[in-house]
Structure 1
């Protein structure tokens, strides 16, 4: 008797902005619309009615798809009839929330659920490991220049590559074995993956980009190529190289000797060959609309690790102070808007009772 067909895995994508939408498209092709749930916030109204549209130099233009679109994890669990999820893919910004992102995932976590973090920053994994020590945890480093140009409309270009490794690298064998099936799932949807026994060197290499370009571009309101052209190389390029050198020093203090001058040259050259205006880093995209930025995950954690290791990082500390102040200014504006909305609702309520 032939074996019964294997059902596709059930996947929940938490945070379906630019990067999340592209990986939702890849997973959509692998598991189909009935098995893919996406948690959306600001783009929920469009995504839930018209779906997502991807315009990609790699996958194609005008790609429209509509998974199961929800606002919360609780809604996803309810809509799925309480069935467990095989994978939870976290693509939300790594920022502080109340409750925290790991806490918000709890209703969807089953004993076999694999959690995959496709987020920027360094030292971001421990909160998930603390709450879910028995679940496989995958730390993923993504190269995917994508921008949400309108709600649920994504422009993607240049590259799509996901480095995948178990966290920690010495996790139990059963946890380590979860990385390969996840990679195969993404490959089935057209994604590109690389597996690593220890993915942290890749995370440090990407951090060179994130902790240098992201805050500098946000503070200068410039894309990477625009910033390089804004002043003589000894100033613009010199600043980026100096920041990357400090980041490499921290990585080397932790035993990652392959994060060195060659890594800096590679990452610098990726920006130098881009035509104007260049790539828009995520912090710049957030700054343009006054949204919260991943300051602590990207820069703050880097500075804290430097302090713990006794590594001198004066430029990173200065950048951290500046970009933290910018982020706090956005938070104050968001709080003002929220208060105005609350007051307006109160006045409307009073009018309705008159």
Structure 2
């Protein structure tokens, strides 16, 4: 089982953004490769801290994690930081370390950072919306979508940036009251990649990139909710340079309203309308569910407002806690227009003993039913 993100950083759920950042910096420095050369356990702890910070530092991701836990990011392969390598972590969070390790780089794992290493540039993310029916949400689905991505043009070449000599950083030394301080800033010419365009194929832009159509397969787990965002790693825009990595594809879920079923968390609601005759005599009815049609039997004398609960016929829990239920709300339909014969019948029944309302103690009031529904 994956370790809790708050436990990894040693903080509580009420931690402020500044406290989260401070806790991550402390852990990252503790397990930094330069302080623990060749230590695989330290490397793993370093990656876990980066994964925790990636989620908890983002308000939207943090809210989803607080509600759904690790399942909010891992079902169907949508990732957190455990998919990152060391270059990814420093590409995204290198600024957290400040000057603690000579400008935020590292050398202990042979990566492209630290000392004279160049920064690994990540391409920009792409964002799309995917519409899902309740049936697709209930069962999980694989969607194929077309996206326009920036990719490196075939035949493009890059050369070492002459401004930073391939390091991706400009080093500056300043005299302060504390002595001579060395700081590193991102090279303004190559944007930190350490490379600039050498040869540009026809049709490519000034960075050697082309816009191309790509078909992406997205595995969406059962139980997602409207507004949730999932990530497909590496399917965003590519970045220029030979040491770059693609951005990600962010998928926002949009739930299509069902014709008959209404969703409330993992439970579903269905309004079933029946006639006076059906209510009095009892009837068998076929209703819609997310797994197909089912037939239910209504007993004789069923009352309007009765709620029938079909166990497990709702939406699966994203945390694999089982399925919600389908609540069938029985509504006895009152005809608005009667013919002469029908009117005469009901006029006779006005004083009939059997038609006078006699609620039993077991018959719950409207407010009791509402209370039960939300409890």
Q: TM-score range by the shorter chain?
A: under 0.3
Greater strand share, structure number = 2
Tell me the TM-score normalized by structure 1. 0.24
Tell me the TM-score normalized by structure 2. 0.23
CA radius of gyration, larger in: 2
